[in-house]
Amino acid sequence: MPVGGGAPVSVQSMTTTKTADSEATITQIYALAAAGADIVRCTCNEPAAAEGLARIVPRSPVPIIADIHFHHEMALAALEAGVHGLRLNPGNLRKEHEIKQVASEAKDRGVPIRIGVNAGSLHPDLYKRFGGATPEALVESARMELAYFEDVGFDDVKISVKASSVPLMIEAYRLASETFDHPLHLGVTEAGPPPGGLIKGTAGIATLLAEGIGDTIRYSLTADPVEEARAGRQLLEALGLRERKGLDLIACPSCGRAEIDVIAVAKAAQQALEERKLPIQVAVMGCVVNGPGEAREADLGIAAGRRRGHLFIKGTIVRVVPEDEMVDALVAEAERLVAEGIDARLAAADAGAAAEAEADRRDLLAGKGVDANASEERIELIRKKYGNHAEG
């Protein structure tokens, strides 16, 4: 799994099992990989954990990183176990000769190391020197660790400067991107349980990715780590940084025009489509007044109107189905769409479906309110009536 150098941004997560329990850990690693994790980290805090890694690494579907905090011997043991990378916390592993020993051994084995600075475990000297866990203090911690690596000629390094404060994390990574020529691993540490943890993680990670900063990411959630992997993958797909492999379901927030329980239909559709692992964008819209127009870029969608569902592909109505068959029809069409392609499914549209849908739309429009898709007509009317009136 390449990191940095123009490679796609990768998703990481960490196991919550005891690494010594190799069977439980490998089971969780497979679940993480299935949810979108490209790299998985496991703690190595005792000899039994290193023995577990020796059993896990050959069976893992993704690269395994050993997480090291206080004992450099555990880093050496993890290297003996065959791990694909190490994460060292410079705030906890502080003896220069021990750090250099680990770096030298990793260099000989061709194993990369992440310098994992954390605001919560910053070296006391740096905390005092900079007056707290500031962006400058976090970056300086990474710089000092990197200097030890450079002394032994080791430069296969990733760097992270995490904090639980989103603004601090963002500023620290911005400074790190200006300071280092190494891949950066992004994360808001100790973000907490969802939904708050997801919001904080997204606020920090997405901001930096949008600025072109970051090469690999991890959501740090107080939850099943599968949620971390899934969130990371979805974020990268939403930002257009990774090809979509899973479902992207969009749905209107519902309003007074809604002809169905949008929340219930959207949940049912999401569950059914996710089970089939279809890599498409699907829209569930509450009414046919605005639905197909607002969601015209979706691969597939359905909108409710007059106790019927209007099934559309790229904004084009292809079928009208009874309301109680909406989800089943959506799932069936999604499977055909993935198997046959958009053009083939558009060609197979029911004759008269578009006319039926338009009749439903006009009927609902008369009693339900404004059509947002008519915005351009309104703009043209404004221009004709008021375009010659200059300001002031």
Q: What is the DSSP string of 154-188?
A: ---EEEEEEBSSHHHHHHHHHHHHHH--S-BEE-B
Mean residue pLDDT across the chain? 90
When pLDDT is averaged across residues 10-32 and rounded to a whole number, the result is 97
User: Among residues 47, 13, 48, 18, which one has the least CA distance to residue 30?
Assistant: 13
> How confident is the model at residue 367, as a pLDDT?
58
pLDDT at 206 over 90: yes
Give the pLDDT score at 287.
Answer: 72
Average pLDDT score over residue span 128-141? 95
- Of 84, 67, 118, 77, the closest CA to residue 101 belongs to 77
CATH topology of domain 248-376: Sulfite Reductase Hemoprotein; domain 1 (3.30.413)
Three-class DSSP category at 89: coil
Q: Which pair of tokens denotes residue 376?
A: 């351009």
The structure tokens 């870029």 sit at: 297
In tens, the pLDDT along 301-352 reads 988 776 788 899 998 899 999 888 889 999 999 999 999 999 999 999 998 8
256 has a pLDDT exceeding 70: no
Judged by DSSP in three states, 357 sits in helix
Whether 371 shows a pLDDT value over 60: the answer reads: no
Model pLDDT for residues 71-84, shown as the tens digit of each residue: 999 999 999 999 99
Does the pLDDT value for residue 292 go beyond 70? no
pLDDT digits (tens, 9 = 90+) for 94-116: 789 999 999 999 999 999 999 99
Question: Could you read off the pLDDT of 209-236 as tens digits, one per residue?
Answer: 999 999 999 999 999 999 999 999 999 9
Which residue type does 372 have? Answer: A
CATH superfamily of 10-238: Dihydropteroate synthase-like (3.20.20.20)
**Domain segments of the chain: what residues?**
10-238, 248-376
Given a cut of 80, whether residue 281 has pLDDT beyond it is: yes
**Amino acid letter at 275?**
E
Q: Provide the percentage of residues in the chain whose pLDDT is more than 70.
A: 92
